Structure 1
Amino acid sequence: MSKTALRNFTPQVPMRLRTLLGDHPGTAALKNGSIKSDSVTLDFADYSPTYKGFKPMVREQAFDVAEMAIVTYLMAKSFGKPMVLLPSVVMARFQHAFALYNAKSGTLMPADLNNKRIGIRSFTTTTGAWLRGILANDHGVDLDSIDWVTFEDAHVAEFRDTTVRAPPGKQIVQMLVEGELDAVLGEKLEHPDLKPLFPDVAREEKSWFAKHQVMPINHMVVVSEALSTSHPDVVQEVFRLLQQSAARAPAASPRFSVEEMRRSLEMIIRYTAQQGLIPRELAVDELFGDLTPTLR
């Protein structure tokens, strides 16, 4: 570079992006700074637990890059919220362990849930949608017969929640222990009175996977529509960083091929539509923006 060019040279300033990203094996390298970019700086917001940041993202577009529960995204998409999904999974797990009942009231099996009173943090949680789909489609439970008791509203403000709200000050596990609920979804903890709704969770998970060949996706990553439209190169760099970080996760962490991701998304879309959380089944390709085919 000549002396004149050197005098006129302005170093590239990385674009700073407001970012919501939880602590997961596949995000650790990105969050601890061992993976960096010359063109992008991720300014991580402090939300604990991470799902508390989903509402401001959906309602106010508070972040440029955000982890997002997949059911929240499906609902946001159905209401035209300006977000674009990236094919990047940051959290996935089997769901069967996250259903409990109070054994002091007698043994309860999935097939016994009709006409029961069941608690869940919010009716629109992704774990709840997965579990309701499993109960309805694999165990014949009539979801409409159940009295659903919730403790929080939906992240998407436009959703009309018809569940019964728990009395102020009540906690979900407290209500289960005190016999005010027959079962709860979305909770997993050790308590002498509480038992898993699926008595042999490991066997149930193995059997379910053999049948469906699906690993349930919980959280993926979205970017704002404005960022995707105005700075596709930045979105490509964000995706590269996410992929590079995920590659450093322990081998046991879930990894998804394109086809595995599609199967999981197809199933949660079907479950979400069955449960009235979205007005129709979306095609998987509708979830992603025009930029997706260029991401590597």
Structure 2
Amino acid sequence: MRLRTLLGDHPGTAALKNGSVRSDLVEFDFVDCSPINKGFKPMVRWQAFDVSEMAIVTYLMAKSFAKPMVLLPNVVLARFQHAYALYNGKQGTLKPSDLNGQRVGIRSFTTTTGAWLRGILANDYGVDLYSIDWVTFEDAHVAEFKDTTKRAPAGKQIIQMLIDGELDAVLGEKSDHPDLTPLFPDAAAEEKAWFAKHGVVPINHMVVVSRALSDQHPDIVREIHRLLTRSANAAPAAPLFSADAMRRSLEAIIFYTAQQGLIPRAFTVDELFDDVTRALI
């Protein structure tokens, strides 16, 4: 069976994409898409692929609107998030707890990095997310989501707006510009302390398959999971999650996503999978 497949270039996908991990049951027709998040919208809106990398918050939102996709327990991108927040140091010092009432830019309000960072700010630093003047640059991948944030003027770029003083901070970005300063001055120390407190490594991207593939060809879905697992195990730098670690991370991002109004209720982890993929955890 040939499967139209969207997977980014990650350590854990390299062996699968270069053909060193292969199968007699399936072949993957890999679609070029850079950056990889540009492929999430066609998967969510039009089921453009049989197998697709997927931002976990996009998947949670898609599930809340009954999009025909099923999650696999395969993590392809996970990272701590504290380093992806900036402010303009020329405007004075800004601490995470100072964000109430500020103008904060983010590519889309529904990005996974943004959801993680907002969750950290709200629950660990007491930030009132509803007091912030959110400025966004893109729509949500899930068309049905009603975005009430302020849209940046056409042609504006998020980092330039921060440099020009049109934003007080941005989430989900890194920059070497000399005027810009990390919101968390020692991100590595903050991440270590956050992990010690919560025991969670934040998941960004996992893998989904079309519901039709799972319903009609469960053996193929099990084979996809096996191949993804083999590929990840072949790469020392790949994110390897135990079942418990994956559950803790999913529970945390489900809570944050519901808290922020991106989904109408908090799912259980088991609800994210179907009978086929749940048995693979």
TM-score by length of 1: 0.94
Q: How far apart, in 1, do the equivalents of 2:234 and 2:175 lie?
A: 29
Alignment of 1:171-250 (within 5 A): 171-250=157-236
The answer (yes or no) to whether the contact 2:76–2:238 under 8 Å persists in 1 is no
Measured against aligned partners, the alpha-carbon deviations of 1:172-204 in whole angstroms (never above 9, x if no partner) come to: 001001000000000012110001000111110
Residue equivalent to 2:275? 290
- Match status 1:62 vs 2:64: no
For residue 263 of structure 1, the aligned residue among 242, 245, 248 is 248
Q: What SS class does the counterpart of residue 291 from structure 1 fall into?
A: helix
Residue equivalent to 2:146? 160
The offset of 1:239, in angstroms, is 0.6
Q: How far apart, in 2, do the equivalents of 1:286 and 1:273 lie?
A: 14
Residue equivalent to 2:105? 119
The amino acid of 2:199's aligned partner reads Q
The offset of 1:166, in angstroms, is 0.3
The amino acid of 2:125's aligned partner reads H
Q: Between the two proteins, what is the percent identity of the paired residues?
A: 77
Structure 2: gaps (5+ residues): none
Q: What SS class does the counterpart of residue 118 from structure 2 fall into?
A: helix
Q: How far apart, in 2, do the equivalents of 1:103 and 1:295 lie?
A: 48
Q: How far apart, in 1, do the equivalents of 2:238 and 2:15 lie?
A: 14
The offset of 1:292, in angstroms, is 2.0
- Match status 1:84 vs 2:67: no
- CA RMSD in angstroms comes to 0.8
For residue 8 of structure 2, the aligned residue among 19, 22, 30 is 22
Structure 1: gaps (5+ residues): 1-14
The amino acid of 1:128's aligned partner reads G
Measured against aligned partners, the alpha-carbon deviations of 1:32-72 in whole angstroms (never above 9, x if no partner) come to: 11111111001111110000000000000000000000000
For residue 141 of structure 1, the aligned residue among 127, 140, 149 is 127
Measured against aligned partners, the alpha-carbon deviations of 1:109-146 in whole angstroms (never above 9, x if no partner) come to: 10100000000000000000000000000000000000
Segment drifting more, 286-295 vs 138-147 = 286-295
Q: How far apart, in 2, do the equivalents of 1:151 and 1:142 lie?
A: 22
The offset of 1:293, in angstroms, is 4.1
Report how many aligned residue pairs link the two structures.
Answer: 281
For residue 275 of structure 1, the aligned residue among 260, 266, 269 is 260
Q: What SS class does the counterpart of residue 159 from structure 1 fall into?
A: coil
Q: Which has the larger radius of gyration?
A: 1
